Structure 1
Amino acid sequence: MKRRLNLAIVTIVLAFGFQVAQAQRNIKPPVLISAPQACGTPANNFEFTAELSPGQALPERNEFILELSDPSGSFANQSDITELARILGPNEAAGGTTNILFSGVQVPANANSDDYRVRVRASEADIIGDVSDPIPFHFFDDNLEIILNGRDDLIFCSVASFAREIAVEVRDENDNFLDVNDFNWEWLKDGAIIPGETSPRLLVTEEGRYIARVPLGLCNNFFNPSNRSNAVDAVLENVDNFFIETTATDFSFCPEEFKELRASEIDFSYNYQWIKDGEELVGEISPTIILPDNNFGGEYTLQIVLSEDCTLITDPVIVTNEGSNITVPLPESLILLPSQSLTLVVETDVPAGSIFRWIANTNVQRQGVTASDGETLTFEVPTSNIGNYRVEIEANDPCNSMLFSETDIFAAERFAITIGPNEVVDCEQDPITIALIEMVGITSSGEQVPLTTEQFNFFNFEWFQDGVSTGETSLSLDISRSDSGGTFDLRAIFSPGGLPDTVSNELSIDFLSNNIVLDITPPVLEAGESVVLTGPFSANFTYEWFVILNGEEVLIEGETTNTLTVTEEGDYFARISSSLCTTDTLIASVRGPGAQSEVIPNVITQGRGSSSDVWVLPNSFSDSGVEVSIYSSNGKLDFQKSGGYNADWPSNSASGADELIYYYIITRNSEVVRKGTITVMR
């Protein structure tokens, strides 16, 4: 009887132990399916699976939660744990292993580590699963665009050394600029990471290929190239590689020949400008130029802008015209005034014995043979004989050049006058001169043809101010600052009569100063408040407002009145234009109550007579261990001081601070602590 009782007890204990074993179910470490890393974008997601051991049923409401550790892989602090996903069940009893599947798992937007771990926790049971091995989790919005240095390379022309700061900008899919300081950065030179460089800006002092990227650990290759900028090449260019060449055997041509000059180096990222006999050729800005059939001989050079740090001009080539030219052609069109006769004149360098003919509306009017080299050919147009006039020349030269020039002659029904400053006006200038800039005859078809200066003699002119005659009858008028605010026009009467009188455009005269100080109200920007910047008002002024960011003038879109409401600290100025001139106001620095801080100024206003004429550093940079070095834009050392800096630049500038951009490096005990740019505003 006793033996049977013991056997029953053993059976009960074994059964109870089996039920306990069934209740203590566990979860193995989650596994990331179909990918070695969780490299997340706004558009993709992932699947994880974890094995649930056999056992009794779990509560019906139980959910399994997929949790992400802190970036170091720890689950020690609950506040650092991120819930990635949760699903209901599987909660039924199972005699074998069950899979828990998490689908559509998004990578958190702040995830950026190779050392994350994941686990699964049951919401209604005391079960916390095993922790996985490290799994890289990185998120990056692959719709963003990272642009380095405006996509421009750094090209320097044969200098011993250089220093140039480059910076990144980030734009979203709508082309909006994002704050670059919201991202982590690392820099690569020739494919290798530059140690210690984590700023969105980099001072380049060596040749090489530079790239900035958002570091994403083991996901770098997955996100490449969306997480990195364009490459910027910093190179020292050999100027001897640039010269003018031609496909012909030499630089001698006949007028009818195909005449092409081209740059030895063709790169459409460069800016080209062709120059003939010291004058820029308007519109000739490609790496090649096709010379005209007439008057093409001369000295040609080519200006090539490789970058803002490298502009070069090639050695000249002499192009020889083996034929002849019309050196002074007929104007494109002319006005024939009533009772006036016109003399058409062309100048040539054709040899004696060349045949010429004058043609009016396809009818030959006169022809002959030149009696001397370089003869000037003239033709008198009879009164009221409008139409097309043309001269043709068969040149007696080795090329047998065929030359021509033509003009269209019109009658005018009325006239129009344009007045304005006769030169570029400085806003401080007093007095200024306004003048007749152009007078045109307007034909019956509405075509506008400029009059010649000789034709001005057919008119009587008179200047008016605010509708009242000034008594001045010349073609120009001096206006002093005391006349500021007046409106001027020029009137013309055709002295022979028979044509309507003419009144010019009205020109409102408002003088400006080069040293305009903006009003800042209130003078200090309080937290959550705003200040208003105010410039001088005139209905004739147009305004543009700028803020200086990273040494660059950035236009504030949509602000065109004489006031600007500011809610952020910064350096602001207005560009004011009148009918006479354009001037920039002095810099208005908007600061908060505790503005002294550690801000290093990146702008000085040299020569404006203000406190910002000198480069002032915070007091923390005045100790003896600090060395300040400033470089000009071509990399030359412009200033250096050890043992503390005390507003010594630009008074001790080697270049006189006459460049726009300078670069500074501040070291403390031989370690770089700050570097950046200084813009010199004048």
Structure 2
Amino acid sequence: MKKFYKSYFLTAIIVLIGSLQLSAQAIVINAPEPADNPNLAGTSVWGYICAGSGGFNEYFVNVTWAGTANSGNQFILELSDANGSFGSPVELANVTDKNNTNDFDIGFSIPEDTRGLGYKMRVRSTDPVKVGAESEAYNMFFMDITTNLNISELGNGVPPGTVCATGPITLQVDNIPNPETYQYIWYRSGTLLAGESGHTLNVTQSGMYNAYIDYGPNCTGSGNTDSNIVDVTIGGTGTGIAISTPSQTLLCPTDSETLSIDQTDASWSYQWYKNDTAILGAIGTTYTVDGGVVGFEGDYAVEITGTGICTERSAAVSMSNPGSFTVTRDNPQNIVVLPAQQQTLSVSTNASAPTYKWFRNDVEITGETNNTLNITEEGTYYAQITETGGSCGSSSKNSDTTIAVSPASFEVVVDYADNYTSCVTTSIILEVVTINAVATNGTKTDVTTDLIDAFAYQWQKEGTDIAGQNGKSISLASNQENGNYKLDASIDTYNESSNTLSVQLLTSDAVTISSTSSVYCSASDIVSLSSSLDLTTEIYEWQLDGAVVSTTDISLDVSAAGTYRLVLDRDGCQLISNEVTISPLDDNLITLEPSGSIVIPEGTSRTISANGGTTYRWMDANNAEISTSDSASITEPGTYTLIASIDNCDVVKQFEVSILDTFKVPNVITVNGDGINDQWVIPNSYSNRDDVNVIIYNGQGQEIINEFNYKNNWPQTSTAFARQNMVFYYKIRNASEVLKQGTITVIR
């Protein structure tokens, strides 16, 4: 009996899927499943993928589907990202010759950057367009590295057997390209270090360390990426090195001090550090700190390394300057000297008892001994400040230089204040962004900060002054202001014109179009498009699917289906309307539920519903109107007509209604040859009908009859029954539903 129900329901599902395909022209694509590789011996259905170079990257999936595919259809196998998302799927393979094959295998290779635990696959079709079900998640790894890793402290590719350090160290993978692009598994003395997946490891505990590239739970072991083992001792006994006490730690600019390690060994290597940063080339037992070098101040230490000893760094020694002072230039770096005008330079300092000297072009200016200097000519200026009262005695510093120019001309640059796109931006501000002083040799000096407020301005449009626009910026907010703009700027005897900026602002107007219908019924049908604006004074064009169809019609009579829009020219910019789509009439836009021929029991009614129209008229077999809503109640047999309107188009649908015979389907027949009840005779509403399917199963669930237009002729002989009271099962159905089902007992 269990076998019967399994077969019974399988048959029901197959018939249901077939019915859906016939009625809706649908296509159903199941999730792809791992399949055997026919190019390998034996059975090789995969459950995860550990691919690699050298041709070891060929896999297969099985694809099943149901429905109807068109001749130009492609089936495309796609791969998700490592998290199972198909936001940007990767195409693995496609086939074009399986449109009549509902069960086939596809071969594929995974991309070389595939590494993760959550990859999924799916298949989609192109004609009709359908995205299939997603597979379950799989581990997939392309193992491009399949050789042993090397880990070391120095990152030099040399595998250290042991490392001894007085404090934490860093181990790193150092023998593969771009090690940071992989995930790793780290172990300490055989124990997994949870959460450590980078190519470097901060080691704070003693132990034996090694690493693998993480190729997931199934592939890591076959990747052969296990590293060397490094035996690390942290907090080992050091030699107790130190820096010998220096004779002085406060250095004046004329002082220097040589720092030295308090013990040495020929087998040791040395490295000096300043503020925990290695000093380039400082690898001896001593290091000299020069007080005359700017920025010498800091904390100095020395580190030793060597075979059989722990890496050890000494305590730091602080070196500083007791007499350091600062000098600040108070004026801008670049200034302009104009005719009959002077500029004042100044410096400030925290030096003790300072004295001042001023220099122009590296030549001292006699008599200028204050912290300020008035200038009237171009040149490069700086002040020299000498501290006379500090603990280090007399020392001097120069201020930063000031470049003074007496320009041959000025360059005034204007630009858009914000992002600007022609015919997109609706408002914009133009402003001065740079003022350069231009020397006779063409050298430019940026003097914007100093002079932007000193110039007098006049904005121009198309070469004509704009009344009242005398600021360093101008605001434009209307397409009526479109044009070419520049700025005249003057100061003293200089009169300059800026670069020119073109402004094409999008109009704030809007235009909409509408149509008398959204459906184009036939060549004789008329659908008109019209605009919300008066087009008599406009320059415009009507477009169909982006191509021009008319530049003269105020109202456009549609002659083809497609997407229409209106484009107006507004001061060189396009003003684009909304889009109106006119569709060709399609009878399939109107659907009936239920569809096909309808059988109702005698004395009952059935409601038929319609979808897709704007209005409806239902007519009975006598052409009398029975409903104007989207449904009608049917009680009598005959041919019924639905007239559905889609806008100004009519679609006519007809359907047949028949009455179900009232006598029952027999559940017992007697095959004794007496001519009475020897065969299974069913009502006329079920037999001899091309649209009714009769199926009979034996006790094992096997079909023995499956036919349309059943002739009431089963069984054709009584010898087909081996024993008394055999039970059979039947099902009577049409394309959309089961009409009757039950048992048949055969008595001999």
Same fold by TM-score greater than 0.5? no
TM-score by length of structure 2 reads 0.29
Q: Which has the higher contact order (CA 8 A, sep 6+)?
A: 1
TM-score by length of structure 1 reads 0.31
